[in-house]
Homo-oligomer: A and B are copies of this chain.
Amino acid sequence: MSLTCGIDVGGTKIAGAVVAEDGTVLEHRRVVSPAEDPEAIEDAIVGLVADLGSRHALTGVGVGAAGYIDSGRSVVMFAPNIAWRDRALREDLQERTHLPVVVENDANAAAWGEFAFGAGSAFDDLLLVTVGTGVGGGVVVDGELYRGASGVAAEIGHMRVVPDGLPCGCGRHGCLEQYASGRALLRQTREAAATDPGAAVLVAAAGGDAEAITGLAITAAARDGDPFALRCLAGLGRWLGEGIASICAVLDPGVVVIGGGVSEAGDLLLDPTRAAFADQVIGTGYRPLPQIVQATLGNDAGVIGAADLARR
C-alpha cells in the first residue's frame, strides 16, 4: 500500500500527516513556523517530511498553501500570509526530500480531501466553502480538481456581494468574505452586542467587554439556546446562503460542503444558510438543487487532500 505525506502550510503552523490510499491518517504532526521567513518554512517542511519518512515509506509529498499556485502545481506565485513570491516550491522541495512533490492551493487541497474521502465522496462535482477567518473555496468538476486557466479559480470570498460595501483586505469593497466569514461574524456580533440588551449573556461571558467576544463563545452560547447568539449565526448564515446561491448560478455543483472553523457550529449555521440558499437560488422546481452539508474531515481535510493529490 502506497503512503504519501500531506503538508498544510498555515500562517503560524505547519501540519504534516502520513496518509494511506483510503484517506486514513496514520500519523499526524504539527510544528510552529515563522510566516515571515520563507526559508525557515521550507526547512520546517523538509524536517517534517524527513521525520515522518523515518517511520513510513513515503512515495510522494503534497503541499497545500494559501495563495496563488501556478497551474503546473509547482510555483507559489503569491501567498498573502507568507513571504513567498514566484517561489519554485516544488523544485526546491523535490531536491531536498528526494520525493515527487505537488503544490496546491490549501482550499483546493481541502476540497479534494472532502471530495475523495469526506462529505462529497458520493458526488462528481463539489463546491467546498471554507468559513474560517476568511472565506475560501475549492471546486471539483467531473472528478477533477478545478484550477482555472491560471491556477487561481474558486476565490469565492472575493465575489462582490454589496456594491460600495465594506472594505476588504484585497483592496476592493463589498467582498463576500466581509459578510460571511468568521471575522465578519465577530464584527457583526460585537457591533450588535454594543446596543442589543439580548447580548447580556454573551457579553458577561466575555468579561463584560463586547469586543472580547470570541467565535467559540458565540457557538457555545448558540448551542445553549441563547437567542442573541442564534440570531448572530443566522445573520451569518443568511449572507453565506445568499452568496452560495450566486456561486451556484455559475457552477451548478452536485453538493456544497461547508468547512472551516465556523462550520463546526453545524446546523445552527447550516439551517439558516440552507434557508437563504433555497430562497435565492435560481431555478427552484425546474432543476435538481445541490444539498448543503457540513464537512466531515475537519482540520484534516487539507493534509488528507494534499496527500492524495500527490498520487495523481
Contact = CB atoms under 8 A, between A and B. Distances in A.
Contact of A141 (B146, B166, B179, B192): B146
A191 interface: yes
A149 interface: yes
Interface string A274-285: 010011101110
Interface in A182-209: 191-192, 194-196
Contacts of A148: 125, 251-253
A286 B167 contact: no
Nearest to A288: B150
- Copy tally for this chain in the complex stands at 4
Contacts of A192: 279
A170 B250 contact: no
A42 interface: no
Contact of A290 (B149, B252, B279): B149
Contact of A286 (B77, B139, B179): B77
Interface string A138-177: 0101101011111111111011111111110011111000
A68 B286 contact: yes
Nearest to A246: B159
Given A146-B141, A149-B290, A164 B191 contact: no
Interface in A213-263: 242, 245-247, 249-255
Interface string A55-71: 00000000000001000
Interface string A80-91: 000000000000
A247 to B, nearest CB: 6
Nearest to A159: B246
Given A172-B282, A196-B279, A282-B158, A163 B163 contact: yes
A4 B35 CA distance: 58
Contacts of A247: 250
Given A148-B251, A155-B283, 14 more contacts: A124-B149, A149-B288, A150-B252, A155-B252, A158-B282, A160-B246, A160-B280, A163-B164, A164-B174, A164-B179, A166-B167, A170-B282, A195-B278, A250-B251
Interface of A: 68, 77-78, 123-125, 137, 139, 141-142, 144, 146-156, 158-167, 170-174, 179, 191-192, 194-196, 242, 245-247, 249-255, 275, 278-280, 282-284, 286-288, 290
13 contacts: A124-B149, A148-B251, A150-B254, A151-B252, A155-B250, A156-B249, A158-B282, A160-B161, A160-B242, A162-B162, A164-B174, A167-B167, A246-B246
